[in-house]
Amino acid sequence: MGASPLVLGIETSCDETSAAVLRGTSELLGHRILTQDVHEVYGGVVPELASRAHLRVIDDVVDSALAEAGKALGELDAVGATAGPGLIGALLVGLTWAKAVAYALGKPLVAVHHMEAHLFAASIDEPAAQPPFVALLVSGGHTMLLWVPEWGRYELLGETRDDAAGEAFDKVAKILGLGYPGGPVIQRIAPEGDPKAYHFPRPMLTRDQRPGDPDYYDFSFSGLKTSVLNRVRHLEAEGRLAGEVPNLAASFQAAVVGVLVAKTMRAVEETGCRRVLIGGGVAASRPLRTAMAEALGADGQLYYPAPRLATDNGAMIARAALFHLERGAPDDLAHLDVSARPDMPFPGLVRRC
């Protein structure tokens, strides 16, 4: 293997079919992301439809990424694929494809943890996005606050007790009749409304919480969603809902962003590290990035991926695979034992007691 390995990354954990060809840590030679639109009419991802759609396009998505890179399968040094967490049928498509190719080529297969990959996304375009940092991972399935002293060592400070941040965006968008996925549509409509029009609760955020309290770093978004729903029912009964949708969207977005920033800043204060990295689909949120940068101030550093690398993509999978490859990847064909795991444990994660 040369100094800079050529890695193929495959992502099929949810509703994006994606493949990337990455040379070393940051040379993205080819990248394809196909977002499935079959789910739009259901207001959420339908697992069986997702698996079938992945299966239909996986060959073409990988071929197309390789073509863009001007590379052939035989030139790859390793293959990385998301093994979990995610939808079992969807994961199986990408991982099985990767296994077959790695086996045929006699090259290592790296089973990648989807959330660890989100941590690496920002570093592809921004080489300075390296630990130590406080990391906020916010996606459709997870909300985690981490202290990351170095790659491969992740201390879990807090996580959601119920809905993930992205899930809250998706559910509230559905309640407001705005479609799926919720984050981008709420971001689009919010500037037409007043974020102070409704005061929605900032769940699990009170001034009297102290470090060590069980809810100091944890999140909860389910009550906030219910609060929006109740307000919507009232407005509907009064026949005033239509005109209030922008105000509701803006006020809801402000509540989520407020909680995410406040909890992250607690970790910044406690660790004394003013370097923050955000990752996951919700990291594409402009209001979140702006509010976080403001809270950190001029002496802080905020790292976030470009929107295309924030939501699910194969590039971050290739980047995370490279990390594990360089740390000591499987050098034989034992990777045939690798299996898709919807509940895959986060490698290197320790829960703070």
Interacting residues with ligand KG4 (CB under 6 A): 14, 139-141, 166-167, 169-170, 181-184, 187, 280-282, 284-285, 311-312
Minimum CB distance to Zn ion, residue 62 (Å): 19
Q: What sign does the dihedral 82-87-88-92 (CA atoms) show?
A: negative
Look at residues 104, 93, 71 and name the one whose alpha carbon lies nearest to residue 15: 93
CB of 6 to ligand KG4, least distance (A): 25
Least separation in angstroms between CB 248 and ligand KG4: 15
Give yes or no for a contact between 194 and 205, defined as CB atoms under 8 angstroms apart: no
Which of the choices Zn ion, ligand KG4, none does residue 123 contact, using the CB cut-off of 5 to 8 A by kind? none
Q: Is 312 in the site for Zn ion (CB under 5 A)?
A: yes
125-144 footprint of Zn ion as x/- string (CB under 5 A): --------------x-----
| Candidates 50-58, 94-102, 242-250, 311-319; binding stretch for Zn ion (CB under 5 A) | 311-319
Helices (H) and strands (E) in the chain, counts: 10, 11
**Closer residue to Zn ion (CB): 244 or 312:** 312
User: Minimal distance in Å, beta carbon 164 to ligand KG4?
Assistant: 7
Q: Can residue 77 be called a binding residue for Zn ion (CB under 5 A)?
A: no
> Which 3 state secondary structure label does DSSP give 210?
coil
> Which one of ligand KG4, Zn ion, none interacts with residue 260, CB within 5 to 8 A by kind?
none
**117 SS3 class:** helix
| Residue 181 touches which of Zn ion, ligand KG4, none (Cβ within 5-8 Å per kind) | ligand KG4
Shortest Cβ 280–ligand KG4 spacing (Å) = 4
From the list Zn ion, ligand KG4, none, pick the one residue 195 interacts with, judged by a Cβ distance below 5 to 8 Å according to partner type. Answer: none
Q: What are phi and psi of 84, to 5 degrees?
A: 165, 170
Which residues fall within 8 angstroms of residue 22, CB to CB, at 6 or more apart?
A: 6, 7, 9, 28, 29, 124, 315, 318, 319, 322
Nearest in space to 34 (alpha carbons), one of 8, 14, 48, 49: 14
Q: Tell me the C-alpha distance between 310 and 299, whole Å.
A: 24
Closest separation between CB of residue 13 and ligand KG4, Å?
7
Which of Zn ion, ligand KG4, none does residue 184 bind (CB under 5 to 8 Å by kind)?
ligand KG4
Q: What is the C-alpha to C-alpha distance for residues 272 and 262, in angstroms, rounded to an integer?
A: 15
Which positions touch Zn ion (CB under 5 A)?
A: 139, 312
